[in-house]
Chain A
Amino acid sequence: MEHTHTGAAHEEHAHDSSTKSIWKTFWILLAITVFEVGLAFLYLEYDFMARWALNGIFVTLTIVKAFFIVAEFMHLRHEIRNLIMTILMPLLLFVWFIIAFLADGDSWKNMRKNLSPGTPAPTEHATKAPAHH
Chain B
Amino acid sequence: MDTAVTAKKKWWSGGHSPFNVSYGKLMMWYFLMSDAFTFGALLISYGTIRFMSTSWPDPNEVFHAFPGMGHADLPLVFVSLMTFILIMSSVTMVLAVHAGHMRDRKAVAKWMVWTIIGGIAFLSCQAWEWTHLYHSGAWWGRNPFTNVDGTIASTNFTNFFFTITGFHGLHVTSGVVLNIIILANVLKGTYEERGHYEMVEKVGLYWHFVDLVWVFVFTCFYLL
Contacts of A6 in B (CB 8 A): 16-17, 20-22
Roughly how many angstroms separate A126 CA and B98 CA in the complex, as a whole number? 57
Tell me the residues in window 57-73 of chain B with beta carbons closer than 8 Å to chain A beta carbons: 60
Contacts of A91 in B (CB 8 A): 33, 36
Please determine whether B94 and A105 come into contact, CB atoms closer than 8 angstroms.
no
Q: Could you list 11 examples of A-B contacts with CB < 8 Å?
A: A3-B17, A6-B17, A26-B91, A74-B205, A79-B19, A97-B41, A102-B51, A105-B50, A123-B149, A127-B149, A130-B152
Give the contact stretch, choosing among B79-87, B128-136, B164-172: B79-87
CB-CB under 8 A from A102, the residues of chain B are: 44, 47-48, 51
Q: Do the beta carbons of B54 and A123 come within 8 Å of each other? A: yes
- In the docked arrangement, what's the CA distance between A33 and B219, Å? 10
A interface footprint on B94-135 (CB within 8 Å = 1, 0 otherwise): 110010011000000000000000000000000000000000
A129 to B224 CA separation, bound complex (whole angstroms): 26
Please tell me if B158 contacts chain A, counting CB pairs below 8 Å.
no
Q: In the complex the two chains form, what is the Cα distance from A109 to B29 in whole Å?
A: 38
A115 to B50, CA, bound (A): 19
Chain B: interface secondary structure? helix
Known: A15-B101, A69-B208. A105 touches B47 (CB 8 A): yes
Residues of B within 8 A of A69 (CB): 90, 208, 211-212, 215
- Shortest beta-carbon distance, A103 to chain B, in Å? 8
How many residues in A have their beta carbons less than 8 Å from beta carbons of B?
63
B positions within 8 Å CB-CB of A? 11, 16-23, 26, 29, 33, 36-37, 40-41, 44-45, 47-55, 60, 75-76, 80, 83-84, 87-88, 90-91, 93-95, 98, 101-102, 149-152, 195-196, 198, 204-205, 208-209, 211-212, 215-216, 218-219, 223-224
CB of B48 within 8 A of CB of A101, answer yes
Tell me the A110-133 residues at the B interface (CB within 8 Å).
112-113, 120, 122-123, 126-127, 129-130
4 other A-B residue contacts (CB within 8 Å) besides A59-B224, A86-B29? A15-B101, A58-B219, A109-B51, A126-B55
> Nearest 5 CB-CB pairs, A to B?
A105-B51, A3-B22, A105-B48, A108-B52, A105-B52
Q: How far is the CB of B209 from chain A (nearest CB, A)?
A: 7
Tell me whether B219 and A30 are in contact (CB under 8 A): no
Query: Given the known A-B contacts A66-B215, A109-B54, are A22 and B91 also in contact in the complex, defined by CB atoms under 8 Å?
Result: yes
Q: Are B16 and A5 in contact (CB under 8 A)?
A: yes
A117 shortest CB reach to chain B, Å = 15
What distance in Å separates the Cβ of B32 from its nearest Cβ neighbour in chain A?
8
Bound-complex Cα distance A17 to B101 (A) = 9
- Given A22-B94, A69-B215, A91-B33, decide whether A58 and B87 contact each other with a Cβ distance below 8 A: no
Given contacts A4-B195, A80-B11, contact A130 B52 (CB under 8 A): no
In the complex, what's the smallest C-beta–C-beta distance from B31 to chain A, in angstroms? 11
Contact assessment for B44 and A101 in the assembled complex, using a CB-CB cutoff below 8 Å: yes
A5-17 contact mask (Cβ, 8 Å, vs B): 1 or 0: 1110111000101
* Residue from B26, B52, B205, B223 in contact with A109 in the complex, judged by beta carbons closer than 8 Å: B52
A35→B31 CA distance, assembly (Å): 32
